[in-house]
Amino acid sequence: MYSLCKNELAKTHLDVTLSFIHAPTQARASLALDLAEMFKPVLADKIIFGLVNRHMLSDSDFEEGENVCRFSEAGRRKVVESFREKVDLEQLDDIRGYRTIVLREAFHLQAHVLGMTSYKAYKQKV
Question: What number of other Cβ atoms are within 10 A of residue 39's Cβ?
Answer: 22
Map residue 45 onto helix, strand or coil.
helix
Q: pTM surpassing 0.75?
A: yes
Q: Domains in the chain, start-ordered, CATH in brackets? A: 2-113 (1.20.120.920)
pLDDT in tens, 51-91: 999 999 999 999 999 999 999 999 999 999 999 888 887 66
pLDDT score recorded for residue 62: 93
* Phi, psi (deg, nearest 5) at residue 78: -60, -45
pLDDT in tens, 6-34: 999 999 998 888 887 777 666 678 889 89
